[in-house]
Structure 1
Amino acid sequence: MNILIIGSKGFIGTHASNFFQEKKHTVFGCDVVTDYTEKRYFQIDATNSDYQNVFKNNIIDVCINCSGAASVPLSLEFPLKDFNLNTLNVFKIADAIRLYQPSCKFINLSSAAVYGNPESLPIKESFGLKPLSPYGIHKMQAEQVLTEFNTFYNLKTCSVRIFSAYGNGLKKQLLWDLYHKFSSNKPIELYGTGDESRDFIHVSDVVQAIALIIEEGTFDNQQINVANGQEFTIRYIAETFKSILNVKQNIVFNNKVKKGDPLNWCADISKLKALGYQNKVSIENGIEDYINWIEKNMN
């Protein structure tokens, strides 16, 4: 297959590119980063993105959009930028597919942020969407864009609602912050009570899930949770980090909730499992691998 990965220089995009190249697919990369060495790479203007030439001049079987902003705090500070990256760009990509590659399968990386604080756990795709931040709203609007293009133009679309993805290459969010806080030899202060929870999924499992969706998905405007169906508290994650690093700092939670952050997440992954998904990386092994990656590459 010819697979176009938009956001190919980002966290998930890099892993997806490597995975599909190893599977002997023809992979096209697309991002705002300058790269003069990579074959089949398209640089996009970050201030005025245009994807039409990419689809006009190349046969693309599958487009995976891994691009966009991924920060709740920054979406609160810069909502227009977040809208452009997470909603408007999705419209531009879908419209280019409509015009030049109408048979192309389009996977857009959405987020569990579209759910907000669910009324119950585990979270099913059928639950109402109640995002708590501009980021979550813009991801929800991107899903509505895919609904529009599927309904009116018969585009093959799928929104994958990724929960808490982590792994080698991620230089932000909880695990990155934990490593640097534990490296300071000071008491560790974290937001919340410690009882907040997330459904973590290693990036290699995210890519495995995307590959299964490409092969087995219906692309009839699907929405699919991409997670492991396992709920871990932030306290457990922090204590696991502490144990692996073999350090003795106290972990203190300040009982403050960050604006836009949900309290508890755990996904129902029945849809994903029906496609054949089984997670391969446990949270404990994933954290240890992540710590090893940081120590090898950042020191």
Structure 2
Amino acid sequence: MQILVTGGAGFIGGHIAEGLAKGGHDVTVIDSYVPYYNLGIKDRNVDATKAAAAATDGSYTLVEGSITNEDLLDELVADTDVIYHQAAQAGVRKSVEEPAKVNRFNVDGTVNVLEAARSHDIDRVVVASSSSVYGKPEYLPYDEAHPTTPVSPYGVSKLATEQYTRVYNEVYGLPTVALRYFTVYGPRMRPNMAMTNFVSRCLHGESPVIYGDGTQTRDFTYVGDIKRINEQLLEDDRADGEILNIGSTDNIDITTLAEVIRDEINPSLELEYGEPREGDAEHTHADISKAAEILDYEPTTDIRDGVQQFIDWYRENQEWYDPLVRNS
């Protein structure tokens, strides 16, 4: 099958592309290679997918370009069966600084992807959304009926992204699915996330720094579960037209997360606290019953097992992944 993964050199897109290549599919990745973080991590994602394709009858093609380039997208989509749209300008705090940029990439870029898919009668478009669409909770866990009142431009852009995805299904009959990811983590994740910061500082004998009072909670989802549900949607049409929460139901407060990481690496360290970050949601917690009912979705990795796996991976790859080692 011919598959296009937008943002396929990134964290989640890279894992999805690698899994599809392992399945023997012909995978094309478009990625803009914007240096939002160390591009060497993207190179590792590309290398992993190339290796997966080389071990099967599939193929892998990397195209450096942007989803804002309509002509390029149209050319790529013309030879595609299924699109996994993962490309986005990520980062809540970055969106507060540059809201127009986030809108251009996340909203306009998504419309470009959907238009190209509609023009070429694509079999399915699977679009990445985010728990950031919910904003301040009226109740927890969030189900898909919860009001969407995002508290950052990034959250607004993701809300627009998934609503365009839904409308293209309802109005044009394009088979689409939008997945609301809840704080995805795992190997090759962006190095500017709380979990990576905690691990890096602890490995270097420095106290983990928590921004805010640490009572904020997150539903952390292991990237393997995200990859698996995306692979399922390659041929499973039961969720067409739907917006679904994809989380772990494994809610943890940030102080406890820091303690779990600290205790595994260096129990002698004290926790430190800083000022809260603007635009960060206070709580996320996924109700995944809809995804379970429609797609039989069930997360497989709880937060403590996932953190241990990530720490083990981090230690093995610290030389190229850890910013403090890389820049020393």
Q: TM-score, normalised by structure 2?
A: 0.84
**SS of equivalent residue, structure 1 residue 155:** coil
**Residue type at the aligned position of 1:253:** Y
User: Aligned partners of 2:20 and 2:206: how far apart in 1?
Assistant: 42
Deviations 1:241-293 (A, max 9, x none): 01211331111334x43211111111100122221222222211211221222
5+ residue gaps, structure 1 = none
**Residue type at the aligned position of 2:149:** K
**SS of equivalent residue, structure 1 residue 160:** strand
Cross-structure match for 1:267: 286
Q: After superposition, where does 1:165-244 map in structure 2 within 5 Å?
A: 165-170=184-189, 171-244=191-264
How big is the shift at 1:14? 1.1
**SS of equivalent residue, structure 1 residue 161:** strand
Matched, 1:90 2:110: yes
Deviations 1:68-106 (A, max 9, x none): 122011111111221122111110010001111x24201
5+ residue gaps, structure 2 = 34-42, 51-58, 320-328
Cross-structure match for 2:76: 54
Is 37-46 or 19-28 further displaced after alignment? 37-46
Cross-structure match for 1:72: 92
Correspondent of 1:288 among 308, 312, 326: 308
Using the aligned pairs only, state the percent identity.
27
**Residue type at the aligned position of 1:94:** L
User: Aligned partners of 1:114 and 1:149: how far apart in 2?
Assistant: 19
| 8 Å contact from structure 2 (residues 93, 280) kept in 1 | no
Is 137-146 or 160-169 further displaced after alignment? 137-146
Q: After superposition, where does 1:83-162 map in structure 2 within 5 Å?
A: 83-100=103-120, 102-162=121-181
Matched, 1:41 2:64: no
| 1:251–1:10 distance in 2 versus 1, CA, 3 Å | same
Question: Over the residues paired in the alignment, what is the CA RMSD in angstroms?
Answer: 2.2
Count how many residue pairs are aligned between Structure 1 and Structure 2. 295
Is 144-153 or 231-240 further displaced after alignment? 144-153
| 1:220–1:188 distance in 2 versus 1, CA, 3 Å | closer
Deviations 1:120-156 (A, max 9, x none): 0110011111000000000111112113322221111
Deviations 1:159-217 (A, max 9, x none): 10000100000122111111222234344331122211000011011111222344434
How big is the shift at 1:44? 4.4
**Residue type at the aligned position of 2:301:** V
| 8 Å contact from structure 2 (residues 197, 208) kept in 1 | no
**Residue type at the aligned position of 2:8:** S
User: Aligned partners of 1:93 and 1:187: how far apart in 2?
Assistant: 43
**Residue type at the aligned position of 1:11:** F
How big is the shift at 1:23? 2.3
User: Aligned partners of 2:60 and 2:228: how far apart in 1?
Assistant: 23
Cross-structure match for 1:26: 26
Correspondent of 2:273 among 253, 256, 260: 253
**Residue type at the aligned position of 1:200:** F
Q: TM-score, normalised by structure 1?
A: 0.91
**Residue type at the aligned position of 2:246:** V
**Residue type at the aligned position of 2:19:** F
Is 7-16 or 60-69 further displaced after alignment? 60-69
| 8 Å contact from structure 1 (residues 156, 219) kept in 2 | no
| 8 Å contact from structure 1 (residues 75, 133) kept in 2 | yes
User: Aligned partners of 1:159 and 1:24: how far apart in 2?
Assistant: 25
How big is the shift at 1:11? 0.3
User: Aligned partners of 2:222 and 2:65: how far apart in 1?
Assistant: 30
| 8 Å contact from structure 1 (residues 105, 219) kept in 2 | no
| 1:174–1:63 distance in 2 versus 1, CA, 3 Å | same
Is 77-86 or 157-166 further displaced after alignment? 77-86
How big is the shift at 1:61? 2.4
**Residue type at the aligned position of 2:307:** I
